[in-house]
Every structure is written in structure tokens, then in C-alpha cells.
């Protein structure tokens, strides 16, 4: 399998001198679901932000689907991101004044593309939101809001979807629904998902886990179980816990 996302020798030092990434090289295969785990402060969010082109690394290279983001200027990078990269955040990032349907097509509109309404409705139907098209986010549950965020990430048909703690604000049942959904968009629809999580049970939904510690790669685990992930984390010095654990 080819890597749809590749980071090479990635370094990130923030103002003030904190080194968040200290030479990370990793590849994420097309059609795979990978969890990124590690102790608090180990650089997980920084890795995601740099890999997604939301932030610039201090050194190293980032490739998405053959395009080197680190060699791309800000404006074309923003354009690339809007169509080729999907995002799902812990706090959903929906615009409160826009309906479910309007939120879903926002990235397409920002990219200057006309949404194909039949397709958009099909995606929302598949995510169980077909009867909520004209609802505002405030009328939806957390799980439903996160499903809108997943729909919004899917409709541009991105090369990769990055998810940062997508279940962090959800109750157990909604968290399971969202994780099952992410797994299904990878296994049934061939998408690629990279997800940061603190939760070993959430990580067990992925095909593999990569571990970070002190801004460096600290191993990986294929076909992870929650117990195996928790044990690895314990060795990395994390407090194991989370909504599903
Ligand atoms: N904007 C910033 N400015 C300065 N330092 C930062 C900034 N963002 C992150 N850091 C520091 O970089 C290091 C890595 O942070 P990062 O958020 O990537 O870790 P993380 O593994 O995602 O942590 P957590 O699990 O707590 O969310 C930490 O020491 C953090 O304090």
C-alpha cells in the first residue's frame, strides 16, 4: 500500500523554546485507520496540525497525496487543504447560524465548488441525518453534531481525514457511534483516517496505533486491543483513562 500522508524528519519548536516534535518520520497508508497516542504533551496535536497543513513545522517535510505541503505557499496550501484534507475536531467546529446542510457544504463552498445536493443528501442520509437537514446545530445532540462534522469532512472526498480527539466530548454511546462511523468510512468506503485520542478503547477501533513520547515516535501496534494499548501507554508513563476506558 502507498502512503497517502508522509511526514519526514518533522521538527516543531514553539516560541518560548518548547520542542514539540523532535524528528518524526511516519507514513499513513491509503485506506487505513491510524490512532496517534501518547502522554499529554508528547506532541500528538502538533503532529496532526503539521501533517494537515494547519501549522508549519520548524523543519522536515510533509506530503499529502504526492503534494509537498512544506514546499507550498500559504494561499495554495489553504486551497489544497479545503479540498484534499478533512478535519474532525473534539468541539465539532460547526457554525451555529448555519443548518446541518449548510455546515456540511461549507468547505465545498469555500473552495468555490458547487455542492452536488443529491450526493450531499446521500452522505447525510448515510450518517443518519437525512431528516435533520434544516436543523441548527444547537438542536442536535453531541453525537449528531459530530456526525455533521464527519459529513462535512467527507463531502469534499479528501485524500485524508484528520480527527483530533473526535470522541473527547461525547458520552459512551455517541462515542461508539462516531468511532464505528470512522471505521466504516475507512473499511467500506476506502477513506484514510488519522485520529489523535487519549482513549485506548477508541484507539482499538483503528487498524494500528502509533505512539509518541517527548516529540518522538515510540513504537506502533497493529490490530490493537484496548488492553494492549493501555499497557503500552502505561510504559510510556501516561495516566490511562478516558470516557470509554
Ligand atoms: N502554541 C503553542 N505554543 C507553545 N507551546 C505549545 C503550543 N502548542 C503546544 N505547545 C507545547 O508543545 C508540546 C506538545 O503539545 P501538543 O499539544 O502537541 O501535545 P499533545 O500530545 O497533543 O498533548 P495533549 O494530549 O495534552 O493534548 C507541549 O509541551 C505543549 O505545551
Q: Which atom of ligand 1 is nearest to the CA of 215?
A: 14
pLDDT at 138 over 80: yes
Average pLDDT over residues 16-23: 95
Can you give the pLDDT at residue 235?
87
Q: Ligand 1 centre from 42 Cα, in Å? A: 7
Burial class (CB in 10 A: 0-12, 13-18, 19+), 161: buried
User: What is the 144 CA–ligand 1 centroid distance (Å)?
Assistant: 29
- Give me the pLDDT at residue 237, please: 67
**Contacts of 181-184 spanning 24+ positions with Cβ under 8 A:** 181/127, 181/147, 181/150, 182/33, 182/150, 183/33
CATH architecture of the domain with residue range 3-236: 3-Layer(aba) Sandwich (3.40)
46-61 pLDDT, tens digit each? 999 999 999 999 999 9
User: Which residue owns the Cα nearest ligand 1 atom 18?
Assistant: 43
Q: What is the atom index within ligand 1 of the atom nearest the CA of 48?
A: 18
Determine what percent of the chain is predicted with pLDDT higher than 90. 82
Whether the CB-CB separation of 162 and 153 falls below 8 Å is answered with: no
The three-state secondary structure class of 225 is: coil
pLDDT of residue 1: 62
- The rounded mean pLDDT for the chain is 92
Q: Which residue ranges make up each domain of the chain?
A: 3-236
Least trusted range by pLDDT, from 8-12, 123-127, 233-237: 233-237
Q: What is the pLDDT of residue 215?
A: 96
197 lines ligand 1 (CB under 6 A): no
pLDDT value, residue 245: 39
Q: What is the mean pLDDT of residues 101-119?
A: 90
Q: pLDDT tens, 186-244?
A: 998 899 999 999 999 999 999 999 999 999 999 999 999 999 999 999 988 644 444 44
Question: How much is the average pLDDT of 74-91?
Answer: 91
Residue 61's pLDDT is 97
How far away, in angstroms, is 43 Cα from ligand 1 center?
A: 6
Task: Tell me, using a 6 A CB cutoff, whether residue 107 lines ligand 1.
Answer: no
CB-facing half-sphere around the CA of 158: CA atoms within 13 A: 30
For the chain, percent of residues with pLDDT exceeding 70: 96
Find all residues with CB under 8 Å of 115, minimum gap 6, and list them: 105, 108, 109, 155
Ligand 1 pocket check: which of 12, 19, 41, 199 to mutate, most ligand atoms within 8 Å of Cβ? 41
The whole-angstrom separation of Cα 183 and Cα 193 is 8
Neighbours of 239 (CB within 10 A): 10
Ligand 1 contacts CB of residue 12 (under 6 A)? no
Instruction: Compute the half-sphere exposure of residue 44: CA atoms within 13 Å on the CB side of its CA.
Output: 23
Amino acid at each position: 500500500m502507498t502512503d497517502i500522508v508522509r511526514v519526514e524528519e518533522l521538527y516543531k519548536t514553539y516560541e518560548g523554546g518548547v520542542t514539540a516534535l523532535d524528528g518524526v518520520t511516519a507514513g499513513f497508508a491509503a485506506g487505513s485507520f491510524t490512532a496517534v497516542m501518547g502522554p499529554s504533551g508528547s506532541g500528538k496535536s502538533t503532529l496532526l496540525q503539521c501533517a494537515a497543513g494547519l501549522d508549519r513545522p520548524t523543519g522536515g517535510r510533509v506530503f499529502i497525496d504526492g503534494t509537498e505541503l512544506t514546499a507550498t505557499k500559504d494561499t495554495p496550501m489553504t486551497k489544497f487543504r479545503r479540498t484534499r484534507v478533512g478535519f474532525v475536531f473534539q468541539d465539532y467546529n460547526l457554525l451555529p447560524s448555519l443548518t446541518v446542510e449548510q455546515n456540511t457544504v461549507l468547505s465545498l463552498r469555500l473552495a468555490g465548488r458547487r455542492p452536488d445536493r443529491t450526493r450531499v443528501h446521500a452522505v447525510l442520509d448515510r450518517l443518519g441525518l437525512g431528516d435533520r437537514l434544516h436543523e441548527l446545530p444547537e438542536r442536535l445532540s453531541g453525537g449528531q453534531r459530530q456526525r455533521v462534522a464527519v459529513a462535512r469532512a467527507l463531502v469534499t472526498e479528501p485524500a485524508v481525514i484528520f480527527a483530533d480527539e473526535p470522541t473527547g466530548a461525547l458520552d459512551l454511546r455517541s462515542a461508539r457511534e462516531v468511532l464505528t462511523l470512522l471505521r466504516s468510512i475507512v473499511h467500506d468506503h476506502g477513506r484514510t483516517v488519522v485520529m489523535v485520542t487519549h482513549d485506548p478503547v477508541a484507539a482499538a477501533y483503528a487498524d494500528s496505533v502509533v505512539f509518541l513520547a517527548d516529540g518522538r515516535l515510540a513504537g506502533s501496534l497493529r490490530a490493537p486491543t484496548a488492553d494492549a494499548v493501555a499497557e503500552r501507554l502505561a510504559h510510556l508513563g501516561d495516566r490511562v483513562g478516558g470516557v470509554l476506558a
